[in-house]
Structures are given as structure tokens and as C-alpha cells.
């Protein structure tokens, strides 16, 4: 009875995916709407996921030799206009501060939509000689991009992210770093989010404002739409020239540096919800789940039950498992539903009979299967968490691969995107053909497939220069 009530609170995942998403993020208390339209409040359960994402990524950046720093939220308006393409790309969505301290400011200030300009400015001051290079910085911060239509985690006016910025002496090194960071993101998506991605270069139309080349990773969501989950950008000397990032090289000549940047955001939380979630709610990958195992006592008023549960929690915590004891007054059935909806990877049920037999009952959220284990066997729980991670990735990868189809004509492409697929096509490289695909099929070029061999442009039929994955996207 309780279970039916609970499940009915979430809209049908197949029938109304947008409502399912909203129900899940609100009811599991990941997030709530802020008082200013388009803003979100990340609640403790959601923020704990972000902290786990942060910790995993931060460790990877540090291993790669990148250092953290922090730059100001406010950027002089004039900085934005120094790189022509950059200002054109970001001007429509920047929030501007015109008054402060009760007076009109001499120069308006922009709330950072991204920090290429201010970091470029500071790098211009700090870099003098080839000995100062490379300079590789990252910052964890918030950014603001005014959006008309917003959805929690996927598109909000303010969001949290990391932005890495490096300057190198040569274009080859900066370009190599752009590729290396894309690979770092891909590995992170696989091993931490259990999420397969397509990676590749973006088209000119889809690239970052001011970049020479943008690379992205795209993930396939449950409803057949693609989600851009991270990007890396090679800037060439565009920003170095705009901000005077110059150095004296070994040969004594004064040269401009080459810069690159890369970022992922709280959007990743939306990505993992829409990759792994099911009708019961969230399915969280163990590496980022705030609670990896929840212990639910059965007949908890009976003597010795709570004590045995507490002892089990202590053992698991000691072994490095993020564990929670639910000793609230709710019924076990209510608790099962609650924690299933919240996507906790493993539930452990422990009652008087189990304790007597020296057993515990394990339930895995991904397959909803149950198995028995020796009471207090932490290795078994860790092994199960590992099996869940690997299964989540395998299932998502199979689904993504099923959803890659090829097309040689616009009609086939339309059928492909209508079916919720990544559609692999040839493309002549002309902007007009890319625009036509968008108009005809409401699909955009997600990434280019460097190993692709599609022979002809899907639009004009001329020989293809590139193979492109088109899809409808978030």
C-alpha cells in the first residue's frame, strides 16, 4: 500500500520524461527553486553529490599538475569586449552591475559568465619569460548566464563549475592539453559517473565564443536526447593577444602564449539522473552517492536490533563505505521506498532472525535483486558496490550504442532523431548544410567522429569532409 502511494508520486518515465525529471529532483530533495526565476537552491543531498564529483575531479587535476586558484566574480565590462567573438557570444546572457554603494559605477561590471577574460588579464601580468610557462590553473566557482528557459541542474542562470585555464609557449602543447583534458573527462565520466560518452571536436557553429577549436563529451539521456556534459577549448593566441599574454622565449624574442580552457558543471548531476534513473527514482553511481549503503532495521524495537545495526554501520564506516542507519519511526516498507527513490546503491535489511543466523540481507538498487551475506562482511558490501558501478556503465553503454544509427539522407536523419538516436552522417563542412539540418530535423551537430567514414553530406550529397553525430540536445 505504502509502496503504491510512493511510486505514484513520480510521473511516468516513459510517458512524461520532463515531469519525471522534475518530480525526481524535487521529491528526492536534491534541489529547490530559488526566489529569483531561473535560480536553484542545491540542497544537502544534491550538494553532497557535487562534493563527491568535485573531490574525484580535483584529485585528477592535481595529479595532472594543475593548481587551484580563485579569481573575482566581477569583471570590468571592457574586458569582455577585448575579444570580439567572445563578447558577441556572451553579451546576450550577461548580468551587469551598474550601481554599488548607492552610486552609479563609472564602469559597469559583469557577473562572470566564464573567466577567460579576467584570467587572461592576470596571466598577462604574471607571465614574462618562457620559464613562467606553462601556467596551469583551475578554479571552482559559480558563474551566471541569464537564461530564458531553465531547469534544475540542466540550465540555470547561476551554476557551479570548475574552469581550468592554461597558457603554453607553443600551440602544439596547448592543443595537446586540450585533448588530454577531454580524455580526463571521458575517464572520469566512465569510472565515477558510470556514464559512457561520445567525444570529439565541435563544429565551427557549436564551438565556444573566441575559441579556435572546441571539443566536447556528449551523453545519451533516457529520453533519447543528447546532453553536453563537458567541453575543452583550444584558443590559439586569440585571448593571449587580446590580453597581452607575452613572454620572452629562449631565443630572446617576445612572443604571445597559447591558451586553452576546460570546464564541467553541476549539469553533470542532471546527466547522471537522466542516464541511470528509473521509474522508482534516482539510481546513483556508488562513487558519487552521498549514502552508498543504508541500513534498515526490521522490528527495531526488539531488543538488540538497533545495537546490531549500529555495530554493522561502524564496521562498514571503518571499511570506507558511506553508510547511514535509518532508525526513524517510519515503517520498513516506507523506508525501502524512500531510499530506493533516493537512489542509494545498497540497502541492508537486518532483523532479529538475521542477527540470530549471523546474516544480513542486501538489496541492490540497480537491478532490484536481493542476496544474503554474512553479517558484518564489509568486503562483500564493497564488492557489491563495485559490481553496481560496472553494471550501470555496461547497461548505459549498451543503450548508447543501440542509439547510434547512420543516415545518408535528411529523411533518414529525421527518422533517426525522432527515434531518439545519435545519427551518424557525412557532412561537407558547409555551415548552410548544418543550418538546414537544424531547421529540418531540429537536431544539432554534437561532435565530429574523427574515425568516421560516411561518404556523402547528408544534406547536399557532395563528398563528405567530416563524419558528424547529430542529435536533439538539452
Compute the least distance from the CB of residue 293 to Zn ion, in Å: 53
Nearer to Zn ion, 77 or 428 (CB): 428
Give the number of other Cβ atoms within 10 Å of residue 66's Cβ.
22
Compute the least distance from the CB of residue 430 to Zn ion, in Å: 5
Q: How far apart, in whole angstroms, are the C-alpha atoms of residue 223 and residue 82?
A: 41
Of the ranges 194-202, 352-360, 371-379, 431-439, which one interacts with Zn ion (CB under 5 A)?
Answer: 431-439
* Alpha carbon of residue 15 to chain centroid: 25
428 contacts Zn ion (rule: CB under 5 A): yes
Of the ranges 162-170, 225-233, 289-297, 423-431, which one interacts with Zn ion (CB under 5 A)?
Answer: 423-431
Compute the least distance from the CB of residue 463 to Zn ion, in Å: 9
Question: Residue 343's closest CA among 289, 393, 272, 381?
Answer: 289
433 contacts Zn ion (rule: CB under 5 A): yes
Query: Under DSSP, is residue 367 helix (H, G, I), strand (E, B) or coil?
Result: coil
Q: How far apart, in whole angstroms, are the C-alpha atoms of residue 312 and residue 334?
A: 21
Nearer to Zn ion, 244 or 461 (CB): 461
Question: Residue 362's closest CA among 371, 352, 353?
Answer: 371
456 contacts Zn ion (rule: CB under 5 A): no
Segment 371-410, which members bind Zn ion (CB under 5 A)? none
Nearer to Zn ion, 171 or 461 (CB): 461
Of the ranges 140-148, 230-238, 275-283, 426-434, which one interacts with Zn ion (CB under 5 A)?
Answer: 426-434
Nearer to Zn ion, 386 or 463 (CB): 463
Asked if 181 contacts 232 with a C-beta cutoff of 8 angstroms, the reply is yes
* Cβ neighbours of residue 354 closer than 8 Å, sequence gap 6 or more: 298, 360, 361, 375
Of the ranges 79-87, 173-181, 340-348, 449-457, which one interacts with Zn ion (CB under 5 A)?
Answer: 449-457
321 contacts Zn ion (rule: CB under 5 A): no
Nearer to Zn ion, 275 or 425 (CB): 425
Compute the least distance from the CB of residue 461 to Zn ion, in Å: 7
Compute the least distance from the CB of residue 468 to Zn ion, in Å: 11
**Which region, left, alpha or beta, applies to residue 234 given φ > 0 means left and ψ of -120 to 50 means alpha?**
beta
The three three-digit cell numbers of residue 66, written as one number: 594543475
Of the ranges 95-103, 239-247, 399-407, 453-461, which one interacts with Zn ion (CB under 5 A)?
Answer: 453-461
Asked if 468 contacts 428 with a C-beta cutoff of 8 angstroms, the reply is no
Compute the least distance from the CB of residue 54 to Zn ion, in Å: 42
Q: State the pairing for strand pair 226-236/213-220.
A: antiparallel
The three three-digit cell numbers of residue 398, written as one number: 549498451
Angle at Cα 209 formed by Cα 203 and Cα 211, nearest 5°? 70
Of the ranges 72-80, 223-231, 324-332, 452-460, which one interacts with Zn ion (CB under 5 A)?
Answer: 452-460
Q: How many residues bind Zn ion (CB under 5 A)?
A: 6
Compute the least distance from the CB of residue 91 to Zn ion, in Å: 30
26 contacts Zn ion (rule: CB under 5 A): no
Nearer to Zn ion, 367 or 409 (CB): 409
Q: How far apart, in whole angstroms, are the C-alpha atoms of residue 112 and residue 254?
A: 30
Q: How far apart, in whole angstroms, are the C-alpha atoms of residue 215 and residue 328?
A: 48
Give the number of other Cβ atoms within 10 Å of residue 29's Cβ.
12
Compute the least distance from the CB of residue 470 to Zn ion, in Å: 13
> CB-side exposure of 310: number of CA atoms within 13 Å?
6
The three three-digit cell numbers of residue 267, written as one number: 549539469
Of the ranges 17-25, 141-149, 285-293, 432-440, which one interacts with Zn ion (CB under 5 A)?
Answer: 432-440
Nearer to Zn ion, 349 or 434 (CB): 434
Compute the least distance from the CB of residue 444 to Zn ion, in Å: 15
Query: Under DSSP, is residue 471 helix (H, G, I), strand (E, B) or coil?
Result: strand
Compute the least distance from the CB of residue 416 to Zn ion, in Å: 17
Compute the least distance from the CB of residue 458 to Zn ion, in Å: 7
Angle at Cα 152 formed by Cα 147 and Cα 157, nearest 5°? 25
* Cβ neighbours of residue 65 closer than 8 Å, sequence gap 6 or more: 136
306 contacts Zn ion (rule: CB under 5 A): no
Q: Which of 109, 227, 459, 471 binds Zn ion (CB under 5 A)?
A: 459
Give the number of other Cβ atoms within 10 Å of residue 321's Cβ.
18
Q: Which of 198, 384, 448, 457 binds Zn ion (CB under 5 A)?
A: 457
Of the ranges 120-128, 175-183, 234-242, 459-467, which one interacts with Zn ion (CB under 5 A)?
Answer: 459-467
Give the number of other Cβ atoms within 10 Å of residue 233's Cβ.
28
460 contacts Zn ion (rule: CB under 5 A): yes
Name the site residues for Zn ion (rule: CB under 5 A): 428, 430, 433, 457, 459-460
Amino acid at each position: 500500500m505504502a509502496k503504491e502511494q510512493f511510486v505514484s508520486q513520480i510521473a511516468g518515465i516513459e510517458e512524461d520524461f520532463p515531469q519525471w525529471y522534475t518530480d525526481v529532483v524535487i521529491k528526492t530533495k536534491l534541489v529547490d527553486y530559488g526566489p529569483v526565476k531561473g535560480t536553484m537552491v542545491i540542497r544537502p543531498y544534491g550538494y553532497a553529490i557535487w562534493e563527491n564529483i568535485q573531490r574525484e575531479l580535483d584529485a585528477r587535476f592535481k595529479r595532472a599538475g594543475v593548481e587551484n586558484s580563485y579569481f573575482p566574480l566581477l569583471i570590468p565590462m571592457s574586458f569582455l569586449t577585448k575579444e570580439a567573438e567572445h563578447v558577441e557570444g556572451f553579451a546576450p546572457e550577461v548580468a551587469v552591475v551598474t550601481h554599488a554603494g548607492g552610486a552609479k559605477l563609472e564602469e559597469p561590471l559583469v557577473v562572470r559568465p566564464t573567466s577567460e577574460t579576467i584570467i587572461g588579464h592576470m596571466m598577462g601580468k604574471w607571465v614574462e619569460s618562457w620559464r613562467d610557462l606553462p601556467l596551469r590553473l583551475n578554479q571552482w566557482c559559480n558563474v551566471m548566464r541569464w537564461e530564458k528557459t531553465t531547469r534544475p541542474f540542466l540550465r540555470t542562470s547561476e551554476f557551479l563549475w570548475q574552469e581550468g585555464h592554461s597558457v603554453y609557449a607553443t600551440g602544439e602543447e596547448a592543443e595537446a592539453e586540450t585533448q588530454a583534458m577531454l580524455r580526463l573527462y571521458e575517464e572520469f565520466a566512465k569510472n565515477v559517473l558510470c556514464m559512457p560518452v561520445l567525444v570529439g571536436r565541435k563544429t565551427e557553429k557549436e564551438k565556444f565564443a573566441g575559441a579556435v577549436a572546441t571539443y566536447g563529451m556528449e551523453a545519451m539521456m533516457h529520453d533519447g536526447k543528447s546532453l553536453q556534459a563537458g567541453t575543452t577549448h583550444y584558443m590559439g593566441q586569440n585571448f593571449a593577444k587580446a590580453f597581452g599574454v607575452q613572454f620572452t622565449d629562449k631565443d630572446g624574442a617576445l612572443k604571445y602564449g597559447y591558451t586553452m580552457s576546460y570546464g564541467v558543471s553541476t549539469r553533470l548531476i542532471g546527466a547522471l539522473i537522466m542516464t541511470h534513473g528509473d521509474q522508482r527514482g534516482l539510481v546513483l553511481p556508488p562513487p558519487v552517492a552521498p549514502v552508498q549503503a543504508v541500513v534498515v532495521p526490521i522490528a527495531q524495537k526488539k531488543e538488540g536490533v538497533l545495537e546490531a545495526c549500529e555495530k554493522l554501520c561502524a564496521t562498514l564506516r571503518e571499511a570506507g563505505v558511506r553508510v547511514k542507519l535509518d532508525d526513524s519511526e517510519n515503517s520498513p516498507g516506507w523506508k525501502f521506498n524512500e531510499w530506493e527513490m533516493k537512489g542509494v546503491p545498497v540497502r541492508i535489511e537486518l532483523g532479529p532472525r538475521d542477527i540470530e543466523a549471523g546474516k544480513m540481507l542486501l538489496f541492490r538498487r540497480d537491478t532490484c535483486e536481493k542476496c544474503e551475506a554474512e553479517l558484518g562482511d564489509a568486503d562483500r558490501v564493497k564488492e557489491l558496490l563495485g559490481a553496481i558501478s560496472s553494471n550501470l556503465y555496461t547497461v548505459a553503454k549498451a543503450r548508447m550504442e543501440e542509439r547510434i544509427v547512420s543516415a545518408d539522407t535528411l529523411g533518414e536523419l529525421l527518422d533517426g532523431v525522432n527515434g531518439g538516436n545519435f545519427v551518424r552522417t557525412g557532412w561537407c563542412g558547409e555551415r548552410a548544410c548544418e543550418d538546414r539540418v537544424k531547421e529540418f530535423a531540429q537536431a544539432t551537430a554534437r561532435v565530429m567522429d574523427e574515425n568516421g567514414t560516411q561518404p556523402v553530406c547528408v544534406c547536399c550529397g557532395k563528398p563528405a569532409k567530416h563524419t558528424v553525430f547529430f542529435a536533439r540536445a538539452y
